[in-house]
Amino acid sequence: MRLSSLCAGVLLFVLAPALSAQYSVVTEVDRPMSFGTRPGFSVGFPNTDQKLVDEVWTNFVKNNFAGKLKKGKKGEKSASQLRSASVSSNDFTLYSKLEKVGDGAQLDVWFDIGPFFLNRREDATHTNDTKELLTRFYYDVRRAAVGQEVKGEEEKLKEMETKMKKLQRDNSTLNKDIENYKAKLTKAEADLVQNQKDQEATIIDIDKQRQAVEAARQRQGNVENERQ
């Protein structure tokens, strides 16, 4: 019995960080917004593009709350007459503000459920459910961010493959050029040998022609002595 209790304790000790880490991405906060400082929730996204977080958040509100975010003052957005069992049993209004923080972004969200803005002191159950909901949103953003990385790496791979195809084409062209150059070189070598032979034959012909010219000159000088 003591051994099983010890094992259970060790297992709980090992799993506890992982379980708590699941919810640590969402923080309960009191932050200023259009109605003053109100309790809400904050989600941080290190090393994440602010535009990406905004796109995923817009879709998340549409898919989970059937709402459309509208721009308000000082970068705040809101959506009213929303419904979600995780947030409230009644309709509620959502306010959110997305800011750039360092190389990442931070989203602050407030849920106006009527009598109060959702918080742990007045509604612990829905607060926990909402944190789970926002944790899902956090991982949606992470998946989208990693998806962008995958797309970027795929584009780099595609560029490399395109470069490789060009190199292969160039290689084929260069090999053909080499074969053509070899054929031209072989022909040039043969032409060179023939040129040498032609020069030797031409030297002989030139020598004979010189003799013929000399003979003709001699006949020209003795033309008076020639008999018809």
138 is a domain residue: yes
* Predicted confidence band of residue 215 (pLDDT cuts 50, 70, 90): confident
Per residue, the 3-state secondary structure of 199-227, as one string, reads HHHHHHHHHHHHHHHHHHHHHHHCHHHCC
Q: Is there a domain that residue 161 lies in?
A: no
The answer to the question of residue 93 being in a domain is yes
Is residue 48 situated within a structural domain?
yes
What backbone phi and psi angles, to 5 degrees, belong to 123? -160, 80
Is residue 164 in some structural domain?
A: no
Q: Report yes or no on 3 lying in a domain.
A: no
Distance (Å, rounded) from C-alpha 55 to C-alpha 69?
Answer: 11
**Structural domain boundaries enclosing 65:** 24-150
pLDDT tens, residue by residue, 109-128: 999 999 999 999 999 999 99
How far apart are the C-alpha atoms of 78 and 96, rounded to whole Å?
Answer: 6
For residue 120 the two structure tokens come to: 């742990």
pLDDT at 11 over 50: no
**Structural contact between residues 88 and 111, judged by C-beta atoms closer than 8 angstroms:** yes
- In a domain, residue 19? The reply is no
Per mean pLDDT, which of 15-24, 163-172, 216-225 is the most reliable?
Answer: 163-172
At 78 the pLDDT is: 97
CATH code: domain of residue 47: 3.30.310
Residues 6 or more apart in contact with residue 198 via CB below 8 angstroms: none
pLDDT of 228 over the 70 cut: no
pLDDT at 226: 67
Residue 117 domain-assigned?
yes
Domain total of the chain: 1
pLDDT in tens, 26-48: 999 999 999 999 999 999 999 99
Whole-number percent of the chain with pLDDT over 90? 80
Provide the mean pLDDT of the chain.
89
